[in-house]
Amino acid sequence: MPANRFNGHTDLGVGIGLRIPHYQHIFTHRPVVDWFEIISENFLVDGGRPLAVLDQILERYRVVQHGVSMYFGSTDRLNREHLRRLKALVKRTGTPWLTDHLCWGSVDGRYTHDLLPMPYTFEAARVTARKIREAQDFLEVPIAVENVSSYAEFHMSEMTEWEFLSEVVERADCGILLDVNNIYVSSRNHSFDPYEYLNSVPAERVAQIHIAGHSKFEKYILDTHDHPVIDPVWDLYAHATKRCGNTATLLEWDDHIPSFTEVQAEAMKAERYRLAPAPSDLEVVR
């Protein structure tokens, strides 16, 4: 299922998050990278360096857009100005699919700029799915939603997180950006079995996978994206790959960012866990 309608029938390999400290290395050394993931909101501008850099990247690399503030789970309406700018960016990048988080973060027009956890209720699933459909219709590109890491649970929840994820994506008929590190973090914070989560996700809807590092504190784990990926997360990645096939995968590293070479080496570890091509695929390649 690597190429499916939720990732625009593409078959991308392992990508890296495009980050400012790496610009110079990328433009000087032109490393071989299958694709870059950009944070959409960093490029929703009218001019200047952000767009100049993006255009240079687009000359040489494939780019997929990842957003951080659509807040599909907020009861607020979608922000039309945000959508309009996103659509212009979609046209510029030619992103085959677009992702954002299964969370909320704004209320009554006030933005927290955080990825807040959803209560797992049928009402929340309905609200969220409706907004994803609206965004998908407007943007005219497949949308995949990412499971977030969480540190809190609500009394009002009526189902598990993985049931909620399935409920939302089925109702919205959208894809999933499966973050295996987030599953690991939440499983430790909420004491559930991450493999039960993985086994319950509708694999045919997985458009992309995220991997990342995190920080462990005494009483909880925090999703910090500032460390290498730990072995239990790689194990989850291997399991996800078995279920979903070789899916477009991205390493996130957002804080204490090491050199590009180091980030790339960490990302390429994913290749160890990806499946060898089936004989029938080899036939096609020949």
Partner 1 sequence: MKLAELQRRMAEDLLRPLDRPLSKGVAEYLKPNDRLTSVERLEIYRRSVWYRLLDSLHEDFPGLRDIVGDRKFTALSEAYLSACPSTSYTMRNLGSKLEGWMRENPARVGRRVEPALDMVRLEWAHIEAFDEAEGKVIGPEDLAEYNPELVLALQPYVRLLDLRYPVDELRIQAKATSPRTGVTRVRKQAVFVAVHRSEGDVYYRRLEPGEFAVLRSLQRGGTLEKVVTRALRSAPMPEELQNSLRSWVAAWAQLGWLCHPVRTTTPPSSARSRGR
Binding site for partner 1 (CB under 8 A): 17, 37, 39, 41-53, 66, 68-70, 74-75, 79, 81-82, 84-85, 101, 104, 106-116, 119, 121, 123-124, 127, 148, 151-156, 189-191, 219-220, 222-223, 225, 252, 254-255
CA dist 247 → 13, 16, 93 (Å): 7, 14, 21
Identify the residue whose tokens are 């977030």.
148
Please report how close the Cβ of residue 180 comes to partner 1 at its closest, in angstroms. Answer: 15
Residues in contact with 212: Cβ distance below 8 Å, sequence separation at least 6, in sequence order: 179, 181, 182, 223, 225, 229, 233, 251, 252, 253
Question: Which whole-number Å values give the CA distances from 3 to 11, 12, 207, 277, in the listed order?
Answer: 5, 8, 8, 14
Contact 147, 178 (CB under 8 A): yes
Choice between 4 and 93, CB closer to partner 1: 93
Nearer to partner 1, 34 or 204 (CB): 34
Task: Give the nearer residue to partner 1 in terms of CB position, either 104 or 234.
Answer: 104
Q: Which is nearer to partner 1, 147 or 246 (CB)?
A: 147
Least distance from partner 1 to the Cβ atom of residue 1, Å: 24
> Min. distance of Cβ 16 from partner 1 in angstroms?
11
Residue 285 burial (CB < 10 Å; 0-12/13-18/19+)?
Answer: exposed
As given in the structure block, the two tokens for residue 68 are 């951080």
Cβ distance to partner 1 smaller for residue 203 or 225: 225
Is the Cβ of residue 123 or residue 170 nearer to partner 1 in the bound state?
123
Joined tokens for residue 241: 């790959």
Least Cβ distance, residue 112 to partner 1 (angstroms): 5
Q: Which is nearer to partner 1, 90 or 203 (CB)?
A: 90
Give 116 or 268: the residue with its C-beta nearer to partner 1.
Answer: 116
Closest CA to 128 of 174, 160, 89: 174
Rounded to the nearest whole angstrom, what is the least distance from the CB of residue 82 to partner 1 in the complex? 4
- Record the tokens describing residue 39, joined without a space: 């944070």
Cα within 13 Å of Cα(114), Cβ side: 9
CB of 279 to partner 1, least distance (A): 37
What count of other Cβ atoms lies within 10 Å of the Cβ of residue 269?
15
Q: Are 243 and 204 in contact (CB under 8 A)?
A: no
Query: Residue 184 Cβ, how far from partner 1 at the closest point, in Å?
Result: 15
Please state the closest distance from residue 191 (CB atom) to partner 1, in A: 7
Rounded CA-CA distance 253/224 in Å is 8
